[in-house]
Amino acid sequence: MGFRVNVFLLLAFYLFPGVKSSMVSFSNNGYDGIVIAINPSVPEDEKLIQKIKEMVIEASTYLFHATKRRAYFRSVSILIPMTWKSNPEYLMPKQESYDQADVIVADPYLKYGDEPYTLQYGQCGDKGRYIHFTPNFLLSNNLPTYGPRGRIFVHEWAHLQWGVFDEYNLDRPFYISRKNTIEATRCSTQITGTNVVFKECQGGSCITRPCRRDSQTGLYEAKCTFIPNKAQRARESIMFMQSLDSVTEFCTAKTHNKEAPNLQNKMCDHKSTWDVIMKSQDFQNVSPMTGKNPPPGPTISLLKAKQRVICLVLDKSGSMKTEDRLFRLNQAAELYLIQIVEKGSLVGMVTFDNSAEIQNNLIKITDDNTYQKITAKLPQVADGGTSICSGLRAGFQVITQSNQSTSGSEIILLTDGEDDTISSCFEEVKQSGAIIHTIALGPSAAKELETLSKMTGGHKFFASKDINGLIDSFSRISSGSGNIFQRALQLESKALNVARNNWINGTVPVDSTIGNDTFFVVTWTIQKPEILLQDPKGNKYNTADFKEDQLNIRSARLRIQGIAETGTWTYSLLNKHAQSQLLTMTVTTRARSPTTLPVIATAHMSQNTAHHPSPMIVYAQVSQGFLPVLGINVTAIIENEDGHQVTLELWDNGAGADTIKNDGIYSRYFTHYHGNGRYSLKVRAQARENAARISLRHRQNKALYIPGYVENGKIILNPPRPEVEDDMAEAKVENFTRVTSGGSFIVSGVPPSGNHADVFPPGKITDLEAKFKNDHIQLSWTAPGKVLDKGKADRYVIRISTHFRDIQEDFNNASLVNTSGLIPKEAGSTENFEFKPEPNKIENGTIFYIAIQAINEPGLTSEVSNIAQATKLIPPQESSAPALDTKISTISLTMFGFAMILFFIIN
């Protein structure tokens, strides 16, 4: 099918947060700095702004009571697109931008409908990435389906800010309790309702029948649905069903349902949502507010995005002479100015050593001539000391002299030197409202650079010895406006040391979603190589077609006229010099048209700093619009200050570091620390032949859709939710590659020598499944490694009990299963194991709880796995009996026509 699924044509602009740096702060019980950003493709509508305001005001009050008077929303900014008309009420943004927003308002893909959700893929307690609301959700009446919007916002805020998970499970809506009753997966169990199968609809009403038990699983049949009573007494829980009028609290340790097979129990070791929330950094040493009155309503500011303003602030001090740094700076900066910066942007440049010099005031990028005016001033001589503050102040001057505000403008600061006076301008930087992106070049760059990025919401990068690190860093600093069609995409970034008369060869697939403004760039360190390039139709380009820059910075580029041919391009580079030299190939492009969304890859580490022996997690998100791209090869390359590289294959298998299987988030633990200091992250995503696909299924971590409610003994249905048929749930994807920088991070506390990995145990098993087959229990799980998710564990310990608490609270004293014949496989492999539980005679309905630990060769033990459940069922001689306490009822259809109900039944 390729990329061009029909629903894609309905969309225009999307940009998703990559390395996200939320500006949210919490003090004196109030949240400040929340940013709600409207996508540029959303048509101008004052009602939308009004609905967002109403939601925030309602959410603040609900949050206050839900946190037992501990928190409320004090200040919120709504970021208006630059495409909307000006309004005197709109203020100038500071660091607020679309790609750093906490909440984005954007149209969905058709298949998703308008379900609100949070992009959340970290571990228990980790913050999410962003909340997504659609304009239609905010403007329409969703009250029967999801409840008041303020309540939904709090449900999603709990995902985003505190890292708790949903207490329902659409894949396992029912489970068998320790009391041997079938329960709906929920928290708390005090929420009441009825379980029915919709049988038939005629004349405006539907007949239901009781749910039957499946003799194989002991659970209700697949079409069984839990319909809650509209009138409830239970106050918990917001993470299950915030739509119920009675629900105003999160589940506590007292009311939490530890048995439910939901993501909250899986990810948070059966802890209640309230326990996780109270352990968050927000609520450390925070007391409930006193007094009878609630806090005042939130202050809501309207900010309008502005034209992009960028100033390059580039170091040309004496140390830039070493390791060809000045050449590499010029190569990367030129590529940025010609290939990455969006047309229409205002760009200036400052260079600095002991002092700063303005090279260009702001110039509007319109054509090749304007690029050349800036590139002509790139520094050619390196000399002097390093005064970073001088460079920053000159950068501010460039912006203000051109009648632009520093507020919301961007500065790209590159330096390789130390500067013990850098902190003297921190307050000035803060007050400017500018966003500072920092690039640390080499091991001696000022240690305070990351502070500048963090305090202003900018990106941070580290580049070691080859040119690609710098090019990758610059390439990642794209527009944060939300307009994905302006954004440059990197398809190739390869550097190889090539011996005399040797070739390097490579291929670059250009898929049908891209090809506009495509560049092939070659750099070298001594002499221009021979270059051969061929497009998918056999057209050839050679060395003469690649134009060198007048600055003599050892780079040559070929711009493909029009749209680049779809298919596989091949290239070859021959080193003709007598000595070996470093040759690189970089390919960038943009989206083919405003009607077809390109595949995007973003990457980041789980944290900005790590102290040995704490592990970190590498995350890469690969998506087309809001849809995850599955089944591809995703590789992370992590490099330290010495140039030492570690390559990791990232997984989307729902095990180890990966929270949810097949969500387009690829992850892996990183433990191979090689010294202290800065590390850089780079990720390559590559579609496998005929294996890549786009998932059209509903996302996890969202407000629960309610099919209907029971009122006065009758079921009142809600409008049906759009469903994806199994044969339409995925669309094939053609070959593609994407390369992206994930920024930098800092490691400390690494011992000077020895095997640092020996301090890490095997990873926790999180996907243990159990079922009976005759008299045996069959187990399956994903193998952890010797070190978290790498290598092989030495052995497994499996324990079993008929009592849930024995496994959860006293694992080491539960009955041991004989695993002498079980030899662990390589990490990421599927493990299967079968055993016969004791005693030999087991009654019908007996429930066993099983958990597992992995032990590595040094003797380190993993955490106890998730608890799997297996129920012994002896099939009855006759057909399955209907479930008890469920009466046939006639559904009163007061709101919806027969056609919609028929749609509901079909789906």
Q: Is the peptide bond before 295 cis (omega within 30 degrees of 0)?
A: no
Q: Which residues of 787-815 are buried (b: 16+ CB within 10 A; e: fewer)?
A: bbbbbbbbebbbbbbeebebbbeebeebe
Q: How far apart are CA 605 and CA 667, in angstroms?
A: 9
Predicted confidence (pLDDT) per residue in 12-39, tens digit: 333 333 345 678 999 999 999 999 999 9
Question: Which of 170-174, 557-561, 852-856, 899-903 has the least mean pLDDT?
Answer: 899-903
End-to-end CA distance of the chain: 23
C-beta atoms surrounding 424 within 10 Å: 11
Superfamily of domain 602-692+733-748: Immunoglobulins (2.60.40.10)
Q: Which residues contact 513 (CB under 8 A, 6 or more apart)?
A: 3, 591, 592, 596, 597, 598, 599, 624, 736
The three-state secondary structure class of 638 is strand
**% of the chain residues with pLDDT over 70:** 91
Confidence band for 856, pLDDT divided at 50, 70 and 90 = very high
203 confidence band (pLDDT: 50, 70, 90): very low
Lowest pLDDT segment from 100-114, 321-335, 555-569, 635-649: 100-114
pLDDT per position as a tens digit, 630-656: 999 999 999 999 889 999 999 999 998
Catalytic (active site) residue 200: no
Closest to 218 (Cα-Cα) out of 880, 742, 737? 880
Contacts of 141 (CB under 8 A, 6+ apart): none
Residue 217 has a pLDDT of 83
Segment 92-120 mean pLDDT = 85
Domain map (residue ranges) of the chain: 25-163+280-304, 318-466, 484-594, 602-692+733-748, 769-872
Taking residue 562's Cβ as centre, other Cβ atoms within 10 Å add up to 9
> How much is the pLDDT for 130?
94
Region 573-588 average pLDDT: 95
Q: Mean pLDDT lowest for which of 90-94, 182-186, 761-765? A: 90-94
pLDDT at 8 over 70: no
Bridge-based pairing of strands 708-711 and 737-748 is unpaired
pLDDT band at 884 (very low <50, low <70, confident <90, very high): very low
pLDDT tens column, 290-336: 988 889 999 999 999 888 999 999 999 999 999 889 989 999 999 99
Q: For the segment 416-452, what is each residue's pLDDT rounded down to a tens digit?
A: 999 999 999 999 999 999 999 999 999 999 999 999 9
- Higher-pLDDT residue of 41 and 74 is 74
Structure tokens at 779: 């187990």
State the CATH class of domain 484-594.
mainly beta
* pLDDT band at residue 110 using 50, 70 and 90 as cut-offs: low
Q: What is the pLDDT of residue 45?
A: 95
Domains 484-594 and 769-872 share a fold: no
Q: Please give the CATH number for the structural domain made up of 769-872.
A: 2.60.40.10
551-575 mean pLDDT? 93
Averaged pLDDT for residues 452-467: 89
Q: What is the pLDDT of residues 325-372, one digit of tens each?
A: 998 999 999 999 999 999 889 999 999 999 999 999 999 998 878 888
Q: Pairing relation of β-strands 693-695 and 677-687?
A: unpaired
| Pick from 458-462, 688-692, 703-707, 892-896: least confident | 892-896
Give the pLDDT mean for 484-497: 91
- Angle 635-637-642 from CA coordinates, rounded to 5°: 170
For 740, residues 6+ apart whose C-beta sits below 8 A from its C-beta are 18, 472, 475, 476, 490, 601, 602, 603, 620, 682, 683, 685
Per-residue pLDDT averaged across 877-883, rounded? Answer: 37
Lowest mean pLDDT among 379-388, 537-546, 625-634, 832-841: 832-841
pTM of the predicted structure, to 2 decimals: 0.89
Per-residue pLDDT tens digits for 724-770: 555 456 778 889 999 999 999 999 999 887 556 678 999 999 999 99
CB 440 within 8 A of CB 462: yes
Q: In this model, does residue 195 exceed pLDDT 70?
A: yes
Specify the amino acid at residue 135. P
Secondary element (H or E) of residue 757: none
For the four alpha carbons of 660, 666, 672 and 677, in that order, the dihedral sign comes to negative
Round to whole Å and give the CA distance between 800 and 837. 8
Residue 907: exposed, middle, or buried by beta-carbon count in 10 A (0-12, 13-18, 19+)?
Answer: exposed
Q: Which CATH homologous superfamily contains domain 318-466? A: von Willebrand factor, type A domain (3.40.50.410)
Computed over every residue of the chain, the mean pLDDT equals 88
The residues, any chain, with a CB within 8 Å of residue 191's CB and separated by 6 or more, are 228, 232, 234, 240, 241, 244, 247
**Would residue 746 be called left, alpha or beta, if left means φ above 0 and alpha means ψ between -120 and 50 degrees?**
beta
Q: What is the DSSP string of 601-617?
A: EEEEES-SEEETT--EE
pLDDT at 111: 55
Catalytic residue among 58, 96, 115, 156: 156
pLDDT value, residue 562: 93
